[in-house]
Amino acid sequence: MEPVKIGLLGLGTVGGGSVTVLTRNADEIARRAGRAIQITHAAARQYDPERIEGLGQIGRISDDAFTVVDDPEVDIVIELIGGYSPARELVLRAIDNGKHVVTANKALIALHGNEIFAAAQAKGVMVAFEAAVAGGIPIIKAVREGLAANRIEWIAGIINGTGNFILSEMRDKGRAFAEVLAEAQALGYAEADPTFDVEGIDAAHKLTILGSLAFGIPLQFDKTFTEGISRIEPQDVAFAAELGYRIKHLGITRRAEAGIEMRVHPTLIPHRRLIANVDGVMNAVLVMGDAVGPTLYYGAGAGALPTASAVVADVVDLVRALTTDPTNRVPHLAFQPDELTDTPVLPIEAVETAYYLRITALDRPGVMAAIAGILSEEGISIEAIKQKEPAAGETSVPLIMLTHRIEEAAMNRAIERIEAFDGSVGEVVRIRMESLEG
């Protein structure tokens, strides 16, 4: 049987890793796929010929990606150039040419996936995107296929390694955010412009995909609440530890009575949870199904070979499906296309969660009681209070409170009132809390 011919767009870190994996494991991959798989045409604007030669076997290399997607010999296109454009145009052109597509581009799927999947459905081809979420962890396949018998209740994940590295260093060594971010950039974990990582945009792209797969709703990145970690201070990390919690930057999607929660933000979670002990640049995703209960998926969320592992696994799946009736393939978003629902995504104000609050309070009688009174008037119940002694010469003290679950709108009102109270100083630090109980 003729080998399946691959067109590869991008020869950077993941592209190079994909060449290496396909070359190094060629025999094993062919045994699994049923046919040999060869990269016959690749595209890269700039590349080092010696580096490419050392990676593995490539037929020919062009500097124009559109020549690859228009190549009549190419069966499957792997898109690894990233970003929104020209990735969107290239993928849609490949689909229009009747080619299957594999992509690691979470931003593309999160923002344009609905359009791309509709085009693929119309042409009878598949778009595979396992590597778009959590690198080498096969979380897409787990949710879409392995947990297909379950009603998914919620998903919570550490899905950005850069943010997790920063928070781990802040906890273990008491370092400040800016200092650890600079080290992450020096180590290559963070880009020169780290906004996508530290402000949660990268995680929000991934969570958008997971939420759609879990609950059978269209991709809706614009409705995903996003909050970064740049305002987390070492004292909050330390206070959380004293109270038995760790701060993680989580992506959380949950089925609630009124709709679907989609949110990325720093979160206090009990230190005894397995996911609380995922450190460094590693990723982990916790999925709660009604039949299976909680399941945890852990591994490398980035890197050349881990991500290439997911890319090549998608290629193998597509090779297996080349002769399959298009109407009987695994659906792109887990549910049959005509079965997606319009269940609303809730605004963050309607989400209910517990909270960690750090209030800078004046050290005088009645202040704590007044703050507790404000919370009570807004229907907020306090679970724990911790007050530090003032340092010599200081007139204010940090007041730490943990609350029971309450709707965010009520907490917003309470914080506004506390900040306006003459017994408090500056802004209230608010971090959401989740127990993530099985």
Residues 214 and 335 in one domain: no
User: CB neighbours (10 Å) of residue 256?
Assistant: 13
Please check whether residue 38 lies inside any domain of the structure: yes
**Which phi-psi region, left, alpha or beta, contains residue 186 (left: φ > 0; alpha: ψ -120 to 50)?**
alpha
Q: Give the H/E segment covering residue 213.
A: helix 201-215
Whether residue 126 is found in the same domain as residue 144: no
Number of structural domains, the chain?
3
pLDDT tens readout for residues 357-391: 999 999 999 999 999 999 999 999 999 999 877 77
Tokens 């119940």 belong to 381
Q: What percent of the chain has pLDDT over 90?
A: 88
Q: Which is more confidently placed, 132 or 326? A: 132
Residue 383: give the domain boundaries.
352-433
Element (H, E) at 424: strand 424-433
Q: What is the largest CA-CA distance in the chain?
A: 84
Do 199 and 223 share a domain, yes or no?
A: yes
CATH number (domain holding residue 178): 3.30.360.10
Provide the total of helices (H) and of strands (E) in the chain, helices listed first: 15, 17
- Asked, for residue 346, whether it belongs to a domain, the answer is no
Residue 404 has pLDDT above 70, yes or no: yes
Is 345 a domain residue?
Answer: no
For residues 57 and 222, which has the higher predicted lDDT (pLDDT)? 222
Same domain, 398 and 264: no
Instruction: List, as residue ranges, the binding site for NADPH.
Output: 106
309 & 292 share domain: no
Show Cβ contacts of residue 243 under 8 Å, excluding neighbours closer than 6 positions.
268, 356, 384, 386, 400, 402
Q: What is the pLDDT of residues 37-48, one digit of tens each?
A: 999 999 998 878
Give yes or no for residue 210 having a pLDDT over 70. Answer: yes
- pLDDT for 150: 98
| 231 within domain boundaries | yes
Grade residue 317 by pLDDT with cuts at 50, 70 and 90. Answer: very high
Q: Do 9 and 116 lie in a common domain?
A: yes
What pLDDT is recorded for position 438? 66
Please give the residue that has the higher pLDDT: either 332 or 346: 346
Domain presence at residue 112: yes
Instruction: Report the distance separating Cα 138 and Cα 153, nearest Å.
Output: 19
Of 51-55, 344-348, 391-395, the range with the highest mean pLDDT is 344-348
Which pair of tokens denotes residue 371?
């703050």
DSSP code at position 349: G
Dihedrals phi, psi of 240, to nearest 5 degrees = -60, -45
- The C-alpha atoms of residue 90 and residue 108 are separated, in whole angstroms, by 11
> Who contacts 385 (Cβ-Cβ below 8 Å, separation ≥6)?
368, 372, 399, 400, 401, 402
Q: Is the pLDDT of residue 145 over 80?
A: yes
Q: Based on the domain organization, do 411 and 281 belong to the same domain?
A: no
Tell me: do 293 and 311 sit in the same domain. no
The tokens for 395 are 């007139």
152 and 290 assigned to the same domain: yes
User: Which comes out higher in pLDDT, residue 192 or 286?
Assistant: 286
Of 186-200, 262-276, 293-307, 318-332, the least confident? 318-332
Q: Which residues contact 273 (CB under 8 A, 6 or more apart)?
A: 436
Query: CA neighbours within 13 Å on the CB side: how many for 273?
Result: 27
Residue 397: its H or E element: strand 396-403
Pairing type for strands 396-403 and 382-387 reads antiparallel
Q: Predicted confidence band at 287 (pLDDT cuts at 50, 70, 90)?
A: very high
How many CB atoms sit inside 10 A of residue 64's CB?
10
Q: Is residue 347 part of a domain?
A: no
Which of helix, strand or coil describes residue 421? coil
Looking at the predicted structure, is the pLDDT value of residue 330 above 90? no
Q: Is residue 129 within 8 Å of 171, Cβ to Cβ?
A: no
- Tell me whether residue 344 is in a domain: no
Give the C-alpha separation, 376 to 414, whole Å.
9
Q: Residues within the annotated binding site for L-homoserine?
A: 191
pLDDT value at position 326? 76
Mark the binding-site residues, compressed into ranges: 9-16, 106, 191
Residues 210 and 190 both lie in one domain = yes
Q: What is the CA radius of gyration of the chain?
A: 24
* Whether residues 189 and 254 fall in one domain: yes
What is the token pair recorded at 276?
């609380």
Mean pLDDT in the chain?
95
Co-location of 95 and 21 in the same domain: yes
DSSP codes, 163-201 = HHHHHHHHHHH---HHHHHHHHHHTTSS-SS-HHHHTSH
Q: pLDDT category, 328, cuts 50, 70, 90? A: confident
Strand, helix or coil for residue 89: helix
Q: What is the CATH number of the domain that holds 369?
A: 3.30.70.260
CATH number for the domain including 11?
3.40.50.720
* Catalytic residue set: 206
Q: Is residue 438 part of a domain?
A: no
Pull the structure tokens for residue 139.
């979380």
The phi, psi pair for 259, rounded to 5°, reads 160, -155
Q: What is the mean pLDDT of residues 113-124?
A: 97
Mean pLDDT of 125-149: 97
This prediction has a pTM of 0.94
Using an 8 Å Cβ cutoff, are 355 and 266 in contact? no
Which token pair is 25?
A: 């494991």
Name the β-bridge partners of 399.
Answer: 359, 387
Residue 6 has pLDDT above 70, yes or no: yes
At 437, is the secondary structure helix, strand, or coil? coil
